[in-house]
């Protein structure tokens, strides 16, 4: 029989913690990975922003391409794209997703007849596919730190504080609807410091129920750090830590560019950092200082963000590889107490999942991802190496079955509704691309 634990070895960081992948009835099983950051519509442009649009392409020129794609969405298309994406997430081992949703209104900026129509499209997609959804309606008010108004492309993202609070209340009522079987949580997202003026940030935070999770993009690009320094007199994370009661309810997305006091500050407050390695690489953001953050005791998770990859294995592998490339060392996240890199990575994402998503830890622990017993990359695996072999043996999907909230959503590696979801997605893509 397989050993559940290595001989006399403490489990990563917390001796009471079970291994992230354990032998359950003879099958290697994990409790599912939480995806802490998603913009579902961006899945439709994966692979379509890899052509030169400017002699010095950057995050900011990519954003123009992204805005052109965003402008073509309506609730039906969003529903079709999100369903395909969420089915792919489940097939890859993600069982919960934090949807950072800002595509609220019609392209001209006017609210739909139902102001929550786009949010409901995401809720429907999650419900059909069976993924747990933390819906984060985004407050987006200004086009920069100087308070400039939203441009034409951004208009459909915008709310004033009162309208945003009405949307939040509408969605909270959905969360409490028994029809969702506890599969939906609603939190708050502030798009970024550049998109939310300080007074609005304070007003929204003061109005939220105490337990509400708060997510925001922060310090992803150097340009943003420089603008914040120039217009708010401090670096973004330092400014936020001074101006808001940041604590374990908060998730800071990216937080790429940090000085040591900011690294320690985030860790001390107990906030989670959502690191999105493949998107951050794709957009040329920079590298999160993971080793220092771990040394400070920081909580972190992963997000697939723009969905240039939909694979927790690839995000985790590249999280470690980025660090290896810059430090020219190996096994960066490993410690003496936890020498397995894969195990420490999976333990890290599991430890932050409940506080970032708002789902109870016991609830998330009941969701199950069973790895494929026939996967060659796991042949002869033991409790000591199974996590490393799952994460560091390439991109073959070794997921066999997934169940979320007791419902079997993936069987033999395929989402149970894969074909119907893919057909609807193909139709939606044809329309999205024809509009270009």
Catalytic residue annotation = 254, 305
Q: With the C-alpha atoms ordered 270, 126, 150, 68, is the resulting torsion angle positive or negative?
A: positive
Nearer to Zn ion, 29 or 278 (CB): 278
The whole-angstrom separation of Cα 373 and Cα 104 is 43
Query: In the bound complex, what is the minimum distance in angstroms from residue 122's beta carbon to Zn ion?
Result: 15
Q: Is 215 in the site for ligand NGQ (CB under 6 A)?
A: no
From the list Zn ion, ligand NGQ, none, which binds 372 (C-beta under 5 to 8 Å, kind-based)?
none
Query: In the bound complex, what is the minimum distance in angstroms from residue 305's beta carbon to ligand NGQ?
Result: 5
The whole-angstrom separation of Cα 136 and Cα 119 is 9
Nearest position to ligand NGQ, beta carbon: 39
Both tokens of 327, joined, read 């430090």
CA angle, 123 then 300 then 86, to 5°: 25
The whole-angstrom separation of Cα 112 and Cα 125 is 19
Residues of span 230-289 touching ligand NGQ by CB under 6 A: 279, 283
Cβ neighbours of residue 198 under 8 Å, at least 6 residues apart? Answer: 232, 243
Query: In the bound complex, what is the minimum distance in angstroms from residue 164's beta carbon to ligand NGQ?
Result: 16
From the list ligand NGQ, Zn ion, none, which binds 68 (C-beta under 5 to 8 Å, kind-based)?
none
Q: Do 305 and 39 form a contact (C-beta atoms < 8 A)? A: yes
From the list ligand NGQ, Zn ion, none, which binds 251 (C-beta under 5 to 8 Å, kind-based)?
none
The correct pick among 88, 99, 305, 320 for binding ligand NGQ (CB under 6 A) is 305
Query: In the bound complex, what is the minimum distance in angstroms from residue 206's beta carbon to ligand NGQ?
Result: 24
Torsion of CA 401, 355, 388, 43, to 10 degrees: 60
Q: With the C-alpha atoms ordered 117, 121, 126, 129, is the resulting torsion angle positive or negative?
A: positive
The whole-angstrom separation of Cα 408 and Cα 416 is 8
Query: In the bound complex, what is the minimum distance in angstroms from residue 40's beta carbon to Zn ion?
Result: 11
Nearer to Zn ion, 99 or 388 (CB): 99
Give the rounded distance of the alpha carbon of 380 from its chain centre: 32
Residues of span 169-208 touching ligand NGQ by CB under 6 A: 192
Q: Is 220 in the site for ligand NGQ (CB under 6 A)?
A: yes
Q: Is 63 in the site for ligand NGQ (CB under 6 A)?
A: yes
From the list Zn ion, ligand NGQ, none, which binds 220 (C-beta under 5 to 8 Å, kind-based)?
ligand NGQ
The correct pick among 20, 32, 39, 122 for binding ligand NGQ (CB under 6 A) is 39
The whole-angstrom separation of Cα 348 and Cα 290 is 12
Query: In the bound complex, what is the minimum distance in angstroms from residue 42's beta carbon to ligand NGQ?
Result: 7
Start-to-end CA distance of the chain, whole Å, equals 58
Nearer to Zn ion, 88 or 305 (CB): 305
Closest Cα partner for 251 from 59, 30, 99? 99
Nearer to ligand NGQ, 154 or 175 (CB): 154
Q: Is 343 in the site for ligand NGQ (CB under 6 A)?
A: no
Main-chain dihedrals φ then ψ at residue 423, nearest 5 degrees: -65, -45
Both tokens of 141, joined, read 């008010």
Residues near ligand NGQ (CB under 6 A): 39, 63, 192, 217, 220, 279, 283, 305-306
């Amino acid at each position: 029989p397989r050993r559940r634990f290595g001989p006399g070895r403490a489990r990563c960081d917390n001796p009471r913690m079970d291994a992230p992948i354990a032998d359950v009835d003879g099958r290697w099983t994990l409790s599912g990975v939480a995806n802490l950051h998603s913009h579902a519509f961006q899945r439709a442009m994966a692979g379509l922003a890899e052509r030169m649009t400017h002699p010095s392409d950057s995050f900011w020129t990519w954003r123009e391409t992204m805005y052109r794609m965003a402008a073509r969405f309506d609730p039906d298309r969003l529903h079709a794209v999100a369903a395909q994406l969420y089915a792919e997430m489940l097939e890859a081992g993600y069982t919960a997703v934090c949807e950072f949703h800002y595509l609220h209104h019609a392209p001209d900026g006017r609210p739909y007849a139902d102001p929550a129509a786009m949010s409901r499209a995401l809720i429907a997609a999650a419900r059909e596919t069976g993924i747990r959804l933390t819906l984060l309606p985004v407050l987006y008010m200004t086009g920069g730190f100087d308070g400039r108004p939203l441009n034409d492309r951004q208009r459909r993202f915008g709310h004033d504080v009162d309208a945003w609070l009405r949307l939040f209340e509408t969605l909270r009522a959905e969360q409490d609807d028994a029809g969702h079987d506890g599969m939906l949580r609603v939190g708050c997202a502030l798009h970024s410091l550049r998109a939310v003026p300080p007074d609005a940030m304070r007003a929204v935070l003061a109005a939220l129920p105490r337990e509400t999770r708060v997510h925001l993009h922060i310090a992803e690009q150097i340009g943003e750090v420089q603008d914040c320094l120039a217009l708010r007199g401090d670096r973004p994370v330092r400014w936020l830590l001074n101006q808001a009661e940041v604590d374990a309810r908060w998730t800071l997305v990216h937080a790429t560019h940090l000085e040591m006091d900011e690294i320690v500050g985030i860790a001390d407050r107990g906030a989670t950092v959502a690191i999105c390695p493949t998107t951050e690489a794709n957009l040329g953001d920079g590298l999160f200082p993971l080793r220092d953050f771990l040394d400070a005791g920081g909580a972190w998770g992963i997000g697939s963000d723009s969905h240039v990859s939909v694979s927790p294995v690839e995000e985790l592998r590249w999280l470690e590889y980025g660090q290896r490339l810059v430090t020219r060392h190996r096994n960066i996240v490993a410690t003496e107490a936890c020498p397995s890199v894969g195990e420490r990575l999976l333990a890290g994402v599991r430890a932050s999942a409940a506080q970032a998503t708002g789902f109870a830890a016991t609830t998330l622990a009941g969701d199950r991802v069973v790895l494929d017993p026939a996967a060659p990359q796991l042949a002869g695996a033991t409790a000591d190496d199974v996590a490393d072999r799952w994460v560091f043996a390439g991109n073959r999907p070794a997921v066999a079955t997934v169940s979320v909230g007791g419902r079997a959503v993936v069987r033999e590696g395929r989402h149970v509704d894969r074909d119907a979801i893919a057909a609807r997605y193909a139709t939606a893509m044809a329309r999205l691309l024809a509009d270009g």
